Amino acid sequence: MANIQFNEYDSPTDLDICLAREVAQALERGIRERGVASLAVSGGKTPVGMFQQLRQMDLPWDKVAITLVDDRWLPADHADSNERLVREHLLKYRVEAARFFSLCADTPTPEGGLAAIETRLRELPQPIDVVILGMGEDGHTASLFPCAVESQVALSTNNISTVAAINPTTAPYARISLTLAAIAKAQAVFLHITGAKKRGVYEQALSEGKLPIAKVLNAATGTRRVYWAA
Ligand code: 6PG
């Protein structure tokens, strides 16, 4: 398998511009090859600038399916919902034509919503063309938290589920997350991180191979790239 390519930028804005361009190219390739393409994005603070670049890309967005790699188990209009973030910053302008696959369901717990979401995601073109991951300073990615007991199963390469319910003890809200298996078979997995601290966590994690971010990147079978700026 090819090495993980590490791309370093002078500023987060330069990174956002390049990453958006490379995501658009990968989606175009997917559309050329299968007529449709799929993209899974992360929530949190890091991707906002990249979303603003990506939504300006001239693509046949009506042929693109977009989902999240994870969400907090909240109503989609809650201030901390990843879906809300994506609706506000990505699903605008040209990208309004894309089909969005929500990870929300109207059940009190993510465990209760899993079956419906699993069924919904069967219509998402898989393997996903591009997965854009973020990473926390504890080495979590998507909502695969090292502190959560459910992460062990969700991080197994043999797991046949696309999504898992995760209850982190070190972060707020119950979560729903794509599993390692769903992420790892993507055509491309891009990790988007900024700051010296996260770079250190990433390097340490990769050298030890134990934290979720390392397990996911090590299992990924397609193109693997890191996009980093200070
Ligand atoms: C979430 C995520 C998560 C995120 C990291 C980094 O719902 O929180 O999707 O995996 O990518 O926690 O978050 P920041 O970009 O805010 O640092």
What are the structure tokens assigned to 14, written together? 């330069």
Ligand 1 neighbour 32 (Cβ under 6 A): no
Which residue in 212, 205, 222, 195 sits closest to 143, CA to CA? 212
- Asked if residue 86 has pLDDT above 70, the reply is yes
The answer to whether residue 1 scores a pLDDT higher than 70 is no
Determine whether the shortest distance from the Cβ of 70 to ligand 1 is under 6 A.
yes
CATH of domain 10-229: 3.40.50.1360
Has residue 169 got a pLDDT over 80?
yes
How confident is the model at residue 39, as a pLDDT? 98
Predicted confidence at residue 30, as pLDDT, reads: 97
Range 183-207 average pLDDT: 98
Ligand 1: residue of 41, 42, 226 to mutate (most ligand atoms within 8 A of CB) is 42
- Burial label, 79 (beta-carbon count in 10 A; 0-12, 13-18, 19+): exposed
Q: Is 225 exposed, middle or buried (0-12, 13-18, 19+ CB in 10 A)?
A: middle
Using CA atoms, how far residue 116 sits from 6, 58, 106, 122, 197, in Å, is: 37, 33, 10, 10, 38
Is any ligand 1 atom within 6 A of the Cβ of residue 43? yes
Which pLDDT tens digit goes with each residue over 28-77? Answer: 999 999 999 999 999 999 999 999 999 999 999 999 999 999 999 999 99
Question: 135 C-alpha to center of ligand 1: Å?
Answer: 6
- pLDDT exceeds cutoff 70 at 150: yes
Atom from ligand 1 closest to the CA of residue 43: 9
Looking at residue 116, its pLDDT comes to 98
Terminal CA-to-CA distance of the chain, rounded, Å? Answer: 28
Q: Angle at which helices 196-208 and 212-219 pack, to 10 degrees?
A: 60
Provide the mean pLDDT of the chain.
Answer: 97
Residue 176 CB coordination number (10 Å): 26
For ligand 1, is residue 46 a contact (CB within 6 Å)? yes
Per-residue pLDDT, 46: 98
Residue ranges of the alpha helices (H) in the chain?
12-34, 48-54, 82-89, 110-121, 151-154, 180-184, 196-208, 212-219
pLDDT at 123: 97
Residue 114: predicted pLDDT: 98
| Best residue among 15, 45, 46, 190 to mutate for probing ligand 1, ranked by most atoms within 8 Å of CB | 46
Q: How confident is the model at residue 115 (pLDDT cuts 50, 70, 90)?
A: very high
Residue 2 pLDDT more than 90?
no
Q: Which of 69, 70, 183, 189 to mutate to test the pocket of ligand 1 (most atoms within 8 A of CB)?
A: 70
- Which residue's alpha carbon is nearest to atom 11 within ligand 1? 134
